[in-house]
Amino acid sequence: MTLAVTGALLDGESVCLRTAEDGTIAEIGPAVAPDGADEVLDGAGMALVPGLVNGHTHAAMTLFRGYADDLPLMEWLEGHIWPAEARLDAEDVYWGTRLACAEMIRTGTVRFWDMYWEPGATARAVADSGLRATIGAPLIDAGSSHEKLKRAAEVGLEELADAPPSVIASLAPHAIYTVSNESLEWIGSRSRELGLPIQIHASETEREVIDCLETHGVRPVELLDRLGMLGPDTLLAHGVWLDERERELIASSGATLVTNPVANMKLAVGAAFDLPAALRHGISVGLGTDGAGSNNSLDLLADAKHLALLQKHSAADASVAPAAEVLRVATGALAPLLGAGRLVPGDPADFLLVRTDRPELGLGSLEAGLVYASSGSVVDTTVVGGRVLMRGGAIEGVEEIVARAAERAARIGLRPG
Ligand SMILES: [Zn+2]
């Protein structure tokens, strides 16, 4: 089945976008017209924009939404999240991830990077939802052993071995304070052997930096560099507490930084990621929500506004993080590792139609409207790989997904049954 979107605005012009049988964009432009076999979507009153890419989340943590809010990071993790996670099974993760995917489709995300338990269940949920994701089981050996971590890594990869092409496997060591140097070094070399990306939390809190200096005599990114963990396939989530030397290391390695401004502010990490400094160093930067346990939303457009405002506020400079730049961060356009496509022939047909006939987006620049005035509710249509996952704001089967996720959250004691 091929698709033709007609009469949608792109860069101020009315265009038609046609998809190919393989789920890529076949043609796009003002002179393009639907072919007789195309399913036609009327794009009148809407603008065509690239899909958003959520560079860091723990999708199934939708089950934890509204549970143990308003606590410091380590108390939240150790006292509440980890004990509850010990009760999770694959079905819980499946339905939690389906709920996350429904919310992401609803708010315009087409691809995400996920670090969570039961990666096979996550992959199944991603495939069933129609989204794309890079998935990794969290690897932790604090309180365990290097040998167990290696086994867990291999089991996680096996669970993803039969996943469809919309799912990419990765190695996801949790953080330098939960994974030993020996294991981090092994993960770095395994990633190079297998050609797999690495995703890791890095420099989220000042405590992490202080402890790293005390234990290892270097800062977190220097440690990762020393252990062979930095490279063009490495994604560092957070990067709040970086110094200039660490930014140089990230830039020269080609690693990607993913900032999560809402989770950082909610967990009160006490500083802002420095977007202008990262871009000045030529670092690839993406945007993430982090999990719904610490955000609590997966609406990346809402987070794009937070990113812009936090940057301006902390730099005391309103010209920092302009809307068009922030939108490029949110669509993954400034971080090739994240895997975003562009709206050009041959790239994946992953795109959104946003309503410009709604009050939020009717006037002024589209970029400013999307970043400052909108939330994900302006997204009318979400298409991934040429497949319409949402049209007119409606997602097929969403009622069942919400009900099943609620059942699973009750099962593990996160909400009344
Ligand atoms: Zn995270």
SS (H, E, C) 237-264: EECCCCCHHHHHHHHHHCCEEEECHHHH
Secondary structure of residue 172 in the 3-state scheme: strand
Task: Report angle CA 337, 18, 389 to the nearest 5 degrees.
Answer: 65
The Cα–Cα gap between 298 and 261 comes to 12
| DSSP-assigned states of every residue in 20-70 | -TTSBEEEEETT----TTSEEEE-TTEEEEEPEEEEEE-GGGGGGTTSS-S
Q: Does residue 257 come out as left (phi exceeding 0), alpha (psi in the -120 to 50 range) or beta? A: beta
How many Å lie between the centroid of ligand 1 and the Cα of residue 290?
A: 5
pLDDT computed for residue 233 by the predictor: 98
pLDDT computed for residue 416 by the predictor: 66
How many Å lie between the centroid of ligand 1 and the Cα of residue 324?
A: 26
pLDDT computed for residue 413 by the predictor: 85
Count CA within 13 A, CB hemisphere, residue 75.
Answer: 7
How many Å lie between the centroid of ligand 1 and the Cα of residue 348?
A: 27
How many Å lie between the centroid of ligand 1 and the Cα of residue 200?
A: 8
* Residue ranges in the chain whose pLDDT is less than 50: none
How many Å lie between the centroid of ligand 1 and the Cα of residue 410?
A: 23
pLDDT computed for residue 58 by the predictor: 97
Asked if residue 409 lies in contact with residue 85, where contact means CB atoms within 8 angstroms, the answer is: no
Residue 224 tokens, joined = 């990762």
Asked if residue 173 lies in contact with residue 179, where contact means CB atoms within 8 angstroms, the answer is: yes
Residue 52 tokens, joined = 């958003």
How many Å lie between the centroid of ligand 1 and the Cα of residue 412?
A: 21
How many Å lie between the centroid of ligand 1 and the Cα of residue 391?
A: 30
How many Å lie between the centroid of ligand 1 and the Cα of residue 73?
A: 11
How many Å lie between the centroid of ligand 1 and the Cα of residue 115?
A: 7
How many Å lie between the centroid of ligand 1 and the Cα of residue 198?
A: 14
Residue 35 tokens, joined = 């072919």
Site of tokens 């500083």: 271
pLDDT computed for residue 360 by the predictor: 86
Q: At what angle do helices 146-159 and 181-194 cross, to 10 degrees?
A: 30
How many Å lie between the centroid of ligand 1 and the Cα of residue 18?
A: 37
pLDDT computed for residue 417 by the predictor: 57
pLDDT computed for residue 113 by the predictor: 98
How many Å lie between the centroid of ligand 1 and the Cα of residue 258?
A: 10
pLDDT digits (tens, 9 = 90+) for 157-170: 999 999 999 999 99
